[in-house]
A and B are shown apart, each in its own frame.
Chain A
């Protein structure tokens, strides 16, 4: 069956440009998470969507970062005016979103390099 997909797999951009990263969660999963992993670091939580509820944006590192989830499915993470410290692997995960704690299923990630 189809897992979580992310695009692009790699993105190289120049400092100051905007980038959009896309995540297609597993069909029927109502919960969606964005994380990033910088070199030598663990997974850093960015944002969480659950159904039609207001997203938990508490992990977004600055106002240059935003994310939306259209129709409760596909999500886009946007980074404006990229900086070199934004270089990382950005991972998306989805889960069934049932009551209680659910296992997350991760996509392959987007490797972002800001020159």
Chain B
């Protein structure tokens, strides 16, 4: 059973506009959430994370929002750039466990 879900397999956005990638989870024990970016033929690279004690974390053009009551998080990229085109994975973990649970990814295409 998929505990972390990314329901949009793909997203296309015009350069300069905002990209919003969504992620839902089912396990209320998750208290740490991460976003990874993956280019073809490369491993995922860490992008940004958020702890459940926060509802927002910002790093440059990237902001992650967490809505614990809805078990939903989102990644905002603004302004979007062509180099942001990649697959984005959402992941969740519990500080009491060993495992990270990943979504199926969203392929973002930023159109120049």
Contacts and interface: CB of A to CB of B under 8 A. Distances in A.
A71 interface: no
Contact of A104 (B4, B31, B100): B100
A106 B45 contact: yes
A65 interface: no
Interface string A1-40: 0001000000000000000000000000000010100001
B1 interface: no
Interface string B39-83: 001111110010000000000000000000000000000000000
B34 interface: yes
Nearest to B6: A42
Given A91-B43, A91-B44, A103 B49 contact: yes
B101 A45 contact: yes
Nearest to A45: B99
Contact of B98 (A4, A41, A48, A107): A48
Query: Nearest 6 pairs between A and B by C-beta?
Result: A106-B43, A43-B102, A42-B104, A101-B32, A42-B102, A48-B98
